[in-house]
Amino acid sequence: MRPINMKRHISMTWLRPVVMAAIALILSATAHAAAPGIKGTTFNLIANPNYISQPDGQMIYSWGYGCADGGTSETFAPAMPGNACSTMQIPGPTLVVTEGTTITVNLTNNLPVAAGNTSILFPGFQVSSPTGSGVPGLLTQEATHGSTVTYTFTASTPGTRAYYSGTQSDLQVEMGLYGVIIVVPSGAASLTCPHHNPDSVPGGSVVPETDYRLSTAAYDIASSCYDREYLFQFSEMDPRIHSQAEAQSTKACVVATGCLDVATEPYHPNYFMINGRSMPDDMDSNYSPQYPHQPYNGDPHMHPGELVLLRIVGQGRWQHPFHEHGNHVRILARDGNLILSSTSTTPPSLAGPLLFTTTTTPGLAMDGIFYWTGKGLNWDVLGHGFSGDTSTCTPDTNGYYTNASGAADSAPNYYEWCADHNKALEFAPSGQVASGGPMTLPEPNIFTNGAWYGGSPYLGPDATTRAFGPNATTPPSGTIANSPSGEAGFAFMWHSHNEREITTNNIFPGGMMMMMLVDPRAFTIDESK
């Protein structure tokens, strides 16, 4: 039996159970996300064993889908620096396809001979396996060791769905054989989808941001238009199962069901992952070279008011209650089934629930819209009202500055909560209500938490320098964790509400956790980094 090997002996220092250490890591993170994958109509996948990295230093023997040719002939979507698809990755490659096209997936079984057959299920699609491809299994056609099975189906409807092994699923899904297929709507181009806040505005000058969206709408309906998107796949691992599978992986075997004698019960998972990585690794870049078999991160960033599409998928055996702090999530669809009102049909009106916690069960996929505006804080998060500021904020019937009340889609304060317009926090340093400030805040030296303070609670046009200017009124940025020229937004923990899942090997913080950052318009969000 090969022992689980240590990755880096110093890495336990990441896991001191100190909340502020986690926040420091979080605020020093510069990685951003997106929903990266491979695009096309034919995908040549392979199932392989390899090791995935965990932040406590362990390398866990796992099985994953990958690109059969190692990513040399794939088209990546979105195209971004570092695009890669190795021959084994967890999660498997995100398949990005277009509604209405015929999809062919060739799966080669390169798992250890002792693992027996393997397969892929594509729930939500009508799969027709060509005659002669693979051998019949319990749920679908399977590939025997060293052979290839072909699945064909029509990407009949848009949305996000899980795919995963349909062979000995209690073992093979646990080992890592799962991924996501995203069907982009064929009708998105004919919808009028405004792109709100498409650019950053450092110091008042517009800097275009690269658009990494897979589409402009999640479904063939204008109310599913979005400005930015992120994918989150939740799974957990019990390393006892993985080490037993590894120990027996060299067994000689000629049996379709394999020759592994690995009990999948009792189940005691202690790694809890988002897109195959545990916090803080999930906040490193997509395609980061230190995770060759875990290419996708989980690190959402946004500007105020942007409509952010969240694609949320449960891939493990447990239910995972994902809590998005800062606002609720309006669910568009479950498993690609758009949820529409039965009574308000012209135009079709969304009827999905507004969820505080987006809880996935195994295999369940949800698409939802999240946005953050600062409504109700009682200060102008955009810092309007300084000398020379000419901005306006005309409320629509909901109180926001939108198209309905005359705002251009490109307006720097599109979707501002107008009731707080011009209540700039910096007019009165400590913000005391009695001296004209918008709210009574703690004394800044109390508010500042040593070296870990994240910067300004202020999202205005000069947010990244405000702490050092002549009008410096917010607590200092320029700390170890937050350089004055760097990111200084609002941070919200996004995490599993089953709080044992925000640990890594029983140490807090870790697991299913990341920080969502609401960045000032002065900060350029580059989702490739």
Site of interaction with Cu ion (CB under 5 A): 323
Dihedral pair phi/psi, residue 243, rounded to 5°: -70, -30
SS3 state of residue 462: coil
Spatial separation of the C-alpha atoms in residues 434 and 62, rounded to whole Å: 61
Cβ closer to Cu ion: 39 or 323? Answer: 323
Compute the distance between CA of residue 135 and CA of residue 141 in angstroms, rounded to an integer: 5
Residue of 19, 10, 27 lying closest to 507 (CA atoms): 19
Q: Which of 417, 396, 325, 330 is nearest to 366 (CA)?
A: 330
**Residue 97 near residue 183 (C-beta atoms within 8 A):** yes
Q: What angle do CA 461, 463, 468 make, to 5 degrees?
A: 125
| Residue nearer to Cu ion on the CB measure, 277 or 323 | 323
Residue 116 to residue 110: CA distance in whole angstroms: 10
Minimum CB distance to Cu ion smaller for 311 or for 323: 323
Distance between CA atoms of residues 233 and 362, nearest Å: 11
**Rounded to an integer, what distance in angstroms lies between the CA atom of residue 82 and that of residue 274?**
20
Closest to Cu ion by CB, 271 vs 492, is: 492
CB of 144 to Cu ion, least distance (A): 46
Q: How far apart are CA 35 and CA 46, in angstroms?
A: 21
Residue closer to Cu ion by CB (options 242, 323) is 323
> Which residues lie below 8 Å from residue 317, measured CB to CB, with a gap of 6+?
170, 173, 174, 236, 267, 269, 362
Question: DSSP class of residue 474?
Answer: S
Work out how close the CB of 325 gets to Cu ion at its nearest, in angstroms, rounded to a whole number.
5
The nearest distance, CB 441 to Cu ion, in angstroms, is: 23
- Pick the closer one to Cu ion by CB: 323 or 330: 323
* Cis amide leading into 91 (omega within 30): yes
Residue 32 DSSP class: -
Residue (415 or 508) nearer to Cu ion, CB: 508
Which CB, 303 or 323, lies closer to Cu ion? Answer: 323
Token code pair at residue 356: 């505080």
Q: Under a CB-based contact definition with an 8 Å cutoff, are residues 473 and 457 in contact? A: no
The two three-digit tokens of residue 186, written as one number: 């064929």
Nearer to Cu ion, 224 or 359 (CB): 359
If we measure between CA atoms, which residue out of 484, 467, 509, 456 comes closest to residue 23? 509
Residue 301 beta carbon to Cu ion: minimum distance, rounded to whole angstroms = 19
Minimal distance, residue 330 CB to Cu ion, in Å: 18
Q: Residue 178 or residue 272: which is nearer to Cu ion going by CB?
A: 272
Q: How far is the CB of 19 from Cu ion (least distance, A)?
A: 14
| Min CB(495)–Cu ion separation in Å | 6
* Minimum CB–partner distance for residue 31 and Cu ion (Å): 22
| Longest CA–CA separation in the chain, Å | 81
Residue with smallest beta-carbon separation from Cu ion: 323
What is the smallest separation between the CB atom of 366 and Cu ion, expressed in angstroms? 17
- Calculate the alpha carbon distances from 55 to 9, 11, 17, 65, 268 in Å: 11, 7, 14, 22, 19
Q: Which of 427, 424, 415 is nearest to 375 (CA)?
A: 415
DSSP state of 185: P
Instruction: Kindly state the smallest distance separating residue 34's Cβ from Cu ion, in Å.
Output: 24
Query: Pairing between strand 228-237 and 37-39?
Result: unpaired
Under 8 Å between Cβ of 297 and 282:
yes
Nearer to Cu ion, 2 or 325 (CB): 325
Q: How far is the CB of 328 from Cu ion (least distance, A)?
A: 12
Closest distance between Cu ion and the C-beta of residue 516, in Å? 11
- Name which of 3, 106, 89, 88 is nearest 45 in CA terms: 106
Strands 135-136 and 159-164: unpaired
Residue 321 CB, nearest approach to Cu ion (Å): 9
Q: Which is nearer to Cu ion, 320 or 323 (CB)?
A: 323
Closer CB to Cu ion, 293 or 320, in the complex: 320
The residue whose two tokens read 């988002």 is: 274
